[in-house]
Amino acid sequence: MKKKAVLGLSGGVDSSLAAALLTEAGFAVTGVYLRAAQARDESGAAQAAADAIGIPLVIEDVTEALEREVCSYFAAEYGRGRTPSPCIRCNPRVKFARLTAAADRLGAETVATGHYARMLRLPGGELAIGTGKGRSDQSYMLCRLDRALYPRLAFPLGGYEKSEIRAMAAARGIPAAARPDSMEICFIPDGDRIAFLERRLAGAEGLAGNFVDPSGRTIAPHGGLYRYTVGQRKGLGVALGAPVYVSDVDPDSGNVTLSPAGGEFSREVSVSDCLWHLPAEDRFEADVRVRHSAGFTRGTVTRTGTGAELWFPDGIRAAAPGQEAVFYRGGAIVGCGTIRRRGERR
């Protein structure tokens, strides 16, 4: 009897190929499309993919959960001068929660997605989420999944580069093989994050303020805290004769600090609400990532109760409060924490 698997099927090339690969591996796969009123409805593409692969499709509505767990949080964090990671929050609270519930209902032991990540069995026997192949790696987005899910997880694309996927999908007659990748946040389908936040934060207090230099001298008024994030250079609306970067967003004063190149780096970063996936010493060396699109930076992690202090001898770029810092050793996620403060600049 075939093992049963539930797979999040969006209709895009990644999830469609993941479904095909699981089917070829001998699983009885059911696709699950998560529909939300906030997002573009791609259920037709998901159904076309399911039909091409020869699997059933179930449609689940996650409108309420997405609003409660992600959209409201996203806007509120920007209103506080922080930079949230919506996918990291959505994965455990909405996406994998609903996929797991569907798997339980259908009697499926495996829960799969098209993420570029791998499940690793470490020498000590522990399961861990590991990096995907090369630049396609999406493990960062999975850092807050519950370890209890690990034995059920499957990521069929973990051994492939993104550049290989379209040819593999085309060879299997998958309709999405030539479909462009979706780059926007799912609940902001037009890609206009500022307009979304302006609607959500209309009438909110404490968003106005000034651009200041590193000494605190006022440069000019800015357009609202929610427009800016640490490390940002474009879209500032000020011309100072040389490139400047956002180095701090202070919700208490309303100030956004602009610094010359290098000011967006820091050696000290504090994180809170740590989640540990693997055993770790009170102090250890790790490869740290602070954004999905960022590379790894070598640093020292010192555990402090429910948080941690991070030290980077060469500095780390654009560690924005509200984002996640994810700690890796040997390509496996050890833990993560939410960035709260940046300290000494490089």
d(CA 254, CA 210): 7
* pLDDT on residue 134: 82
Mean pLDDT on 312-325: 95
Mean pLDDT over each residue of the chain, to the nearest integer:
94
Asked whether the predicted pLDDT for residue 345 surpasses 70, the reply is no
* pLDDT on residue 182: 76
Helix ranges restricted to H, 93-181: 96-106, 162-171
Q: Which amino acid is at 204?
A: A
**Domain map (residue ranges) of the chain:** 4-178, 205-260, 265-342
Tokens of 265: 């780096």
Asked whether the predicted pLDDT for residue 346 surpasses 80, the reply is no
Mean pLDDT on 253-265: 93
The topology (CATH level 3) of 4-178 is Rossmann fold (3.40.50)
Tokens of 89: 């929050």
* Confidence band, pLDDT 50/70/90 cuts, at residue 343: low
Helix, strand, coil fractions of the chain, as percent rounded to 5: 30, 30, 40
The topology (CATH level 3) of 265-342 is Elongation Factor Tu (Ef-tu); domain 3 (2.40.30)
| 167-181 per-position pLDDT tens digit | 999 999 999 888 887
* pLDDT on residue 344: 56
Model-level pTM? 0.93
Per DSSP, the chain holds a count of helices (H) and strands (E) of 8, 17
* pLDDT on residue 187: 95
DSSP code of residue 139:
G
* pLDDT on residue 191: 92
Mean pLDDT on 233-244: 89
Mean pLDDT on 197-218: 90
Asked whether the predicted pLDDT for residue 206 surpasses 90, the reply is no
The class that CATH gives domain 205-260 is mainly beta
| 119-128 per-position pLDDT tens digit | 999 998 999 9
* pLDDT on residue 26: 96
| 78-104 per-position pLDDT tens digit | 999 999 999 999 999 999 999 999 999
| 48-69 per-position pLDDT tens digit | 999 999 999 999 999 999 999 9
d(CA 284, CA 300): 6
Which residues are catalytic, by number? 90, 186
